[in-house]
Structure 1
Amino acid sequence: MLQRTLEHAISATGVGLHSGERVRLAMLPAPPDTGIIFRRTDLPEPVSVKAQPSLVNDTRLSSTLVDPTGVRVGTIEHLMSALAGLGIDNLIVEVTAAEIPIMDGSAAPFIYLLQSAGIVDQSQPKRFIRVKRRVEVRDADKWVRLEPYDGFIVNLSIEFNHPAFNLAPQNVTVDFAKHSYIDEISRARTFGFMHEVEYMRNHGLGKGGNLENAIVIDDEFVLNPEGLRFPDEFVRHKILDAIGDLYIVGHPLIAAFSGHKSGHAMNNSLLRELLATPDAWEYVSFRDPSEVPSSFHRLPEVI
């Protein structure tokens, strides 16, 4: 199985969820073994920041890369999730602000853009990270773990004592050998509560949020006129986030990921714990397509 990038560059304009700023996003092909590079083009001198767990230094309601000089690229998790779902290894992502545009609050618009640009195989084999033994991070009743598994499967549960969450199970398992990321996960939107708005605004967050790019919940109901895209959209979005957070490691994982009440901070802590435990993982590549775990056979076809 080979690495992937885009055939052509593609761009879009949107609004930053937390900054409220208008952002132009451009995605460009990149050579093999480049990884995912974010480039701030709004600065006097453009600065490139590579997606890697050690640079995730702000996890307040999103995953934000911060380079050693303080240059930030925020809210990367939805785009990273789309890249994981399409199997894209190498990409240059240019932005004109400190945040990726939120689009509709899901990964679906990024999927559309990336597929419109065309996805192509490259000359070098794709490198996977295979988990060899369990790695776990806990914080009170919250936890996340990675375990050996011949494929990629996610089991995640959330816990909200709220009427809107009690209408459907708050636990979902997605085995990507059987289920499609695009169909089952990519359209699930981010969500927030009305009572959180004042807190977020006081901390410089959520300035761009509205009913067009997030599910908003009051004391009883979902306020979006169209309702939910899935009965269990809330937990599906948490899976979308987790897939994006995990892909910041730079390679697809051959593993089982599970968690309860997880978030960006714990997902990043799990990656750091994995990388700090050398005997818990290894790099693998597959020259023979028949050896690739079936979870990755469902990646969309290249052109």
Structure 2
Amino acid sequence: MQVFQHTVRSAASFAGVGVHTGAQARVTVRPAAADTGVVFVRSDITDRPNQIAVSGEAVCRTQLGTVIEGQAGVTLATIEHLMAALVMLGIDNAIVEVDGPEMPIMDGSSAAFVAVLDAAGKRAQAAPRRFIEILQTVEVVDGDKRASLSTAAGFEVAFEIDFPTAAIGRQRVDLAMDERAFRDELADCRTFGFLHEVEALRALGLARGGGLDNAVVIDGDAILNPEGLRRPDEFVRHKALDAIGDLYVLGFPMIGRFEGVRAGHGLNNALVRALLARPDAWRLRTFVQDLAVAV
């Protein structure tokens, strides 16, 4: 277990299109001091404060992605895939500069972000890493959708989905999650969508940058991507990836078990807010003292 905080060793940049806005954006991930957390900076905005510190309360919209908003009303969309990569690769502190309204979708998974963070490297900092340890079960329910956090010895993620198409059907994944498991089991799993929904989404200003190169597209019972799936249960694995990114808006890695049933970004954030409203259900914990005693 990583007991000290880390930031990236050097700056690393990449660029791509936003899946919903269709806007090109260039991103640079830079080192940050200990206890900074993850702070996004809209470098294209110069007429007002352009920083957005990640927090549960900063999430302002959750339709088909997680959108955060700063104190000056500046927003940034679709942060969840990078957030999942940051927390699972052990990056506690980073400044993420983005020159557009939405994070690039890349290939629809976290794989490109993992590659960028690997290229940047990682540097230990002289501050203990803080974990959110779940002490009591917290659950949110919306009809047949459910998300919960409960006690566990480490970080566990379980997810279940059920879609009325033979392309997906019922899928479930249950994983003990650490960096190796994330790299091996989840990081390359792509977002997905249905062809019949595309026109309606575009009328709402969404999915303008989506296509077969950055999403798995389903038409009826058929998968339209010529290369097919990366894994037979890629759909539910991507939902687990999303949940990990959505939980990291809390600002700390987690010791606990997440379970989602038909949940999405909205319910994930409702769970984050429910946890914050229950200070008896969690505590911040470090392991530096435990390490010193063991030595």
Q: Normalised by the shorter chain, which TM-score bucket?
A: over 0.9
Residue in 2 that maps onto 1:297 = none
Q: Deviations over 1:85-118 (max 9, x none)?
A: 1011000000011110000000000000001011
In structure 2, the CA distance between the partners of 1:66 and 1:6, relative to structure 1 (3 Å rule), is: same
Q: Name the CA distance, whole Å, in 1 between partners of 2:37 and 2:172.
A: 32
Residue in 1 that maps onto 2:42 = 40
Alignment of 1:81-230 (within 5 A): 81-166=84-169, 170-176=171-177, 180-230=181-231
User: After the TM superposition, which parts of structure 1 deviate over 6 Å for at least 4 consecutive aligned residues?
Assistant: none
Residue in 2 that maps onto 1:294 = none
Residue 237 (1) aligns with residue 272 (2):
no
SS at match of 2:273: helix
Offset, 1:176: 2.1
* TM superposition score normalised by structure 1: 0.93
Offset, 1:129: 0.6
Q: Name the CA distance, whole Å, in 1 between partners of 2:161 and 2:289.
A: 39
Residue in 1 that maps onto 2:275 = 274
Offset, 1:163: 1.1
Q: Name the CA distance, whole Å, in 1 between partners of 2:128 and 2:200.
A: 46
Q: Name the CA distance, whole Å, in 2 between partners of 1:85 and 1:283.
A: 18
Residue in 1 that maps onto 2:32 = 30
Residue in 1 that maps onto 2:79 = 76
Residue in 1 that maps onto 2:252 = 251
2:58 to 28, 43, 55: 55
Residue 156 of structure 1 aligns to which amino acid in structure 2?
A: F
What is the count of residue pairs matched by the alignment?
A: 289
Offset, 1:177: 6.0
* TM superposition score normalised by structure 2: 0.95
In structure 2, the CA distance between the partners of 1:288 and 1:182, relative to structure 1 (3 Å rule), is: farther
SS at match of 1:88: coil
Q: Name the CA distance, whole Å, in 2 between partners of 1:156 and 1:67.
A: 30
SS at match of 1:120: strand
Unaligned 5+ runs, structure 1: 292-303
SS at match of 1:53: coil
SS at match of 1:25: strand
Q: Deviations over 1:218-252 (max 9, x none)?
A: 01211001000010000000000000000110000
SS at match of 2:57: helix
Offset, 1:179: 6.1
% identical equivalent positions: 47
Unaligned 5+ runs, structure 2: none
Residue 21 of structure 1 aligns to which amino acid in structure 2?
A: A
Residue 3 (1) aligns with residue 15 (2):
no
In structure 2, the CA distance between the partners of 1:37 and 1:179, relative to structure 1 (3 Å rule), is: closer
Q: Name the CA distance, whole Å, in 2 between partners of 1:112 and 1:192.
A: 25
RMSD: 1.4
SS at match of 1:201: helix
